[in-house]
């Protein structure tokens, strides 16, 4: 029975560490489910004491795998739902992945900013987009022509 109590204490400490480290509910729920399954397996295997050591090893492996999978799944879902949000609470083993994605995203935004406002090259247009559409007060803003006109105007220059 002392082995069972040690395993339960280890699992409880794992849950406490998970609660402290991560605020995510799904990780805590998965860890609690793994601990409940482990306790059931230990009670079943208490009849045959040899299995207890194997159960402890399997239990620790399952808890570690379940937590890693839950964290990766959480990160993927978070990225899909909020692609623009910078994830601050990324785990240390997922930090290089997130930082490289953030660098690529910022580089893409810098490249977007480098494109000039009148990239299509239409004649008679002001280069600065902020100067467009300053007609009489109350007039509707000018509508931009469809993109195929813009491409054609850029190619048919003098």
> 65-74, pLDDT tens digit by residue?
666 666 666 6
Say whether 1 sits in a helix, a strand or coil: coil
CB of 18 closer than 8 Å to CB of 31: yes
pLDDT band at residue 91 under the 50/70/90 scheme: very low
Distance CA 94, CA 141 (A): 47
Percent of the chain with pLDDT over 70: 1
Whole-structure pTM value: 0.25
- pLDDT tier for residue 5 given thresholds of 50, 70 and 90: low
Q: 125 vs 21, 57, 118, 144, 156, CA distance in Å? A: 56, 72, 7, 12, 15
By CB neighbour count within 10 A (0-12 exposed, 13-18 middle, 19+ buried), where does 93 fall? exposed
Helix 51-81 and helix 25-45, axial crossing angle in degrees, nearest 10:
160
Quote the mean pLDDT of the chain.
60
pLDDT band at 36 (very low <50, low <70, confident <90, very high): confident
- Check pLDDT > 50 for residue 31: yes
User: What does the pLDDT read at residue 90?
Assistant: 46
**pLDDT (tens digit, 9 = 90+) per residue, 107-145?**
666 666 665 555 554 554 444 555 555 556 666 666 666
Rounded distance between C-alpha atoms, residue 154 and residue 12, angstroms: 68
């Amino acid at each position: 029975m002392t082995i069972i109590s040690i395993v339960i204490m280890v699992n409880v400490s794992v849950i406490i560490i998970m609660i402290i480290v991560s605020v995510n509910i799904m990780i805590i729920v998965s860890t609690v489910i793994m601990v409940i399954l482990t306790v059931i397996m230990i009670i079943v295997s208490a009849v045959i004491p040899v299995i207890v050591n194997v159960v402890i090893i399997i239990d620790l492996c399952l808890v570690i795998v379940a937590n890693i999978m839950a964290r990766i799944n959480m990160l993927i879902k978070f990225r899909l739902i909020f692609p623009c949000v910078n994830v601050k609470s990324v785990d240390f083993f997922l930090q290089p992945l997130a930082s490289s994605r953030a660098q690529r995203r910022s580089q893409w935004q810098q490249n977007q900013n480098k494109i000039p406002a009148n990239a299509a090259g239409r004649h008679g247009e002001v280069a600065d987009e902020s100067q467009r559409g300053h007609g009489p007060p109350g007039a509707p803003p000018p509508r931009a022509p469809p993109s195929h006109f813009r491409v054609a105007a850029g190619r048919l220059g003098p």
